[in-house]
Amino acid sequence: MKGLKPEDIKIILATDCGSTTTKAILIEKKGGEFRLIVRGEAPTTVEAPFEDVTMGVLNAVGEVEELTGRKLLDEKGQIISPAKGNEGTDIYISTSSAGGGLQMMVAGVVRSMTAESAERAALGAGAIVMDVIASNDKRLPHQQIQRIRHLRPDMILLSGGIDGGTTTHVVEIAELISAADPKPRLGTGYKLPVIYAGNVVAREAIKETLGEKVDLDIVDNLRPVLERENLLPAREKIHDLFMEHVMAQAPGYRKLMTWTDAPIMPTPGAVGLIIKTIADQEGIEAVGVDIGGATTDIFSVFLGVFNRTVSANLGMSYSVSNVFAEAGLENVMRWVPFHMNERDLRNRVKNKMIRPTTIPQMMEELIFEQAIAKEALRLAFIQHKSFATALKGIQQQRTIADAFDQSAGGLTLVNMMTLNMLIGSGGVLSHAPRRQQAALMMIDSFLPEAITRLAVDSIFMMPQLGVLSAVHPKAATEVFDKDCLIHLGTCIAPVGESSARGGKEEKDILEYNFVMPDGKNVEGSIKSGEMRRIPLDLDEKTGIPLTCKASLNPHRGFDLGAGKGNKVETTIHGGVSGIILDGRGRPFILPTDPKVRVQKLKEWMLALDIYPKEALERL
């Protein structure tokens, strides 16, 4: 940072080099707090004919210059630093997922133990995990060798065994890697980086087996004892190697690396970092989702443990057909309140896949696309829940009370009841024509329980704030709070079985009383199977969500976090969509009778003002 102290930093320039777009943001300290000033973007220039990432960076920064009038580039096209008057920036930082991001293969001995810990380390560092090789992954050794040979990862993370345990299995895996002789994805002039983070006793044997064929780095065991993971050394090494090898091979990155004041971070790694930082600082449990064209990333922090998963083939354009194939036609169509011909529908999905940049022009198409998004999010979240677990393979001390609950360990950490905040990003959520649509997509797919705040990162600023949080945490959290998120509001969903499944008598399940900011009381009750929206907006001046005191009284059999039938007094945050009362019960089951289902869907969509009334009546 050129010797600047954090308190001297007033202007921050940050970029995120995505695979298609490079986004630049300018942050300035004004009146004692950091705020986003402007955002610019330009196409990424990693691929031919440009093959120099810095061109896209300069174009995006150029747009920031135009919009602010602040001169950031000198005559030679260099970023001016430090800032003086209306020129330059104090620090410049960047993230990158261009050129396919960081692609890794991980290996371990037992699939559900060391291999899973290695996978967690790689995902947490922001990598795409191409495959997980383990002694017990049910593939024969020659099949594993074929697979390793076929993949061309940026690096391999090898782990296995607890410290002092047996060495044979992990060395066996190393032998397979050696036999496969894998080549790095980018460039041919260097050896493939392999990180060994396994049993310390096996280090010498690993060196002998792999030392000559690959560029071997050894770090602390990521599972030194069964009961504990130690992922940090492996993650840090991944970031170092990402800079040294992967980034250095990508066109123009050597130059970009000399410009930045902090190491360039893989984009998803940076997003994870900001979510973890916010959750730690505010003491909340949070889930973040980024649904893209090809993949869906989910980040979560529960009980202070951070997890990230990437669902490689769940996305809204390149992978849209796969969402359809995995979820099944019925599951997608259950969210659509009108009939569509199957043959026509399948063709539409495939046409979106082969022409991924098209957008829905008709309301009918938008509704259908949002139905697909709900299923993509639902499936990605199922994968996340099964991955974000307590460590497996640990002997658990049980009391007599546990005797009837014999699970094998590895229960999911994801607890929707204690989840405080759900943050969405990615085109289909961020650019939904009505914000309520984003809220309902997240509610229907994640099914938040009790009281959960909802937000979207409308301009996907989280990557830049993630890398900033490593350099200047205060600036990162201030901008995150005030400028990054568009607060949608709060979902209040009592947990309990709803009786409204096919026209049964609908009973009240929750009584509420909100004391609004103007002092007025809004009170009422919500019936089983009903949804309602109560406006509670953002503060006009500050853009910060307004709050209200709430008294929530769930009926017998329904729980809002304080136990069944127990009253909850709390503060509720508003947002552009306000308070959403969801009386559909948890577990949530849609009516099976098509007529009732369509009627209910329309009822909810009208209650929350999701789509125009006339469109719902027409379709």
Partner 1 sequence: MGHAYTPGLKVTEKIQVTKRRILPLKGDVLVKVGDKVKPDTVVARTLLPGNVEPFNVANVLGIPPEDIMFHMLRKEGERVKQGEIIAKSKSFFGLFSSECKSKAEGTVESISSVTGQVLIRGNPIPVEIKAYLDGEVVEVFEREGVAVSTWGSFIQGIFGIGGETHGEIKVVVKDNTEVLTDKLIDRDCKDKVIVGGSLVTADAIKKAVSVEAKGVVVGGFDDKDLRDFLGYDLGVAITGSEELGISLVVTEGFGQINMAEKTFSLLKSKEGKMACINGATQIRAGVIRPEVVIPYVGDMHKKEAKVDLENIGLTEGYPVRVIREPYFGHLGKVSALPPALQKLESESSARVLEVEFQDGTKAIIPRANVEMLEE
**Letter string b/e over residues 230-249, b meaning 16 or more CB atoms within 10 A of that residue's CB:** bbebbbebbbebbbebbbeb
| Closer residue to partner 1, CB minimum distance, 294 or 470 | 294
DSSP for 144-174, written as a single string: HHHHHHH---SEEEE--S-TTS--HHHHHHH
Structure tokens at 91: 């620090």
Contact string 421-450 vs partner 1 (x = CB under 8 A): ----------x-xx----------------
Are 184 and 154 in contact by the 8 Å Cβ rule? The answer is yes
Which one, 179 or 305, has the nearer CB to partner 1? 179
Q: Structure tokens of 10?
A: 């007033």
**Shortest reach from residue 302's CB to partner 1, in Å:** 30
d(CA 326, CA 373): 13
Q: Is 382 in the site for partner 1 (CB under 8 A)?
A: no
Dihedral angle over CA of 313, 317, 318, 324, nearest 10: 50
Query: Could you say whether residue 136 binds partner 1 (CB under 8 A)?
Result: no
Torsion of the alpha carbons at 157, 163, 166 and 169, rounded to the nearest 10: -10
Q: CA of 354: how far to CAs of 312, 344, 472, in Å?
A: 18, 15, 43
Residue among 392 and 434 whose Cβ is closer to partner 1: 434
The answer to whether residue 566 forms part of the interface with partner 1 (CB under 8 A) is no
Q: Which stretch binds partner 1 (CB under 8 A): 139-147, 393-401, 404-412, 479-487?
A: 139-147
52 binds partner 1 (CB under 8 A): no
> Which of 168, 172, 155, 164 lies closest to 121 in space, CA to CA?
155
Q: Cβ 141 to partner 1, closest distance in Å?
A: 4
Q: Is 135 in the site for partner 1 (CB under 8 A)?
A: no
Residue 42 · residue 50 · CB < 8 Å: no
Is residue 18 within 8 Å of residue 461, measured between CB atoms? no
Task: Select from 30-38, 155-163, 164-172, 391-399 the region that touches partner 1 (CB under 8 A).
Answer: 164-172
Does 379 interact with partner 1 (rule: CB under 8 A)? no
Out of 78, 281, 351, 396, which residue is the one contacting partner 1 (CB under 8 A)? 351
CB neighbours of residue 227 within 10 Å:
11
CB of 327 to partner 1, least distance (A): 11
CB of 598 to partner 1, least distance (A): 20
Report how many residues bind partner 1 under the rule CB under 8 A.
57
* Contact residue for partner 1 among 225, 232, 325, 382 (CB under 8 A): 325
The residue from 50, 318, 338, 588 that contacts partner 1 (CB under 8 A) is 318
User: Which of 173-181, 260-268, 406-414, 554-562 is the region at the interface with partner 1 (rule: CB under 8 A)?
Assistant: 173-181
Interaction of residue 218 with partner 1, rule CB under 8 A: no
Q: Does 111 bind partner 1 (CB under 8 A)?
A: no
**Distant-in-sequence, close-in-space partners of 611: CB < 8 Å, separation ≥ 6:** 363, 366, 367, 434, 437, 605
- Decide: is 360 part of the binding site for partner 1 (CB under 8 A): yes
Q: How far, CA to CA in Å, does 106 sit from each of 99, 115, 156, 185, 211?
A: 20, 7, 6, 15, 18
What are the DSSP E strand ranges found in 200-252?
A: 215-218
Distance CA 266, CA 23 (A): 14
For position 209 contacting partner 1 by CB under 8 A, the verdict is yes
Residue of the chain from 26, 122, 145, 479 that contacts partner 1 (CB under 8 A):
145
Closest by alpha carbon to 526, among 546, 502, 550, 548?
A: 550
The stretch among 103-111, 242-250, 320-328, 535-543 that binds partner 1 (CB under 8 A) is 320-328
Does position 254 bind partner 1 by CB under 8 A? no
587 is a contact residue toward partner 1 (CB under 8 A) = no
Gap between the Cα atoms of 579 and 163, Å rounded: 51
Mask for 6-25, x = binds partner 1 (CB under 8 A): -------------xx-----
Contact 69, 87 (CB under 8 A): no
Name the residues that contact partner 1, by CB under 8 A.
19-20, 47, 100, 141-142, 145-146, 167-168, 171-172, 175-176, 178-181, 205, 208-209, 294, 313, 318-319, 321-322, 324-326, 342-344, 346-363, 365-366, 431, 433-434, 612
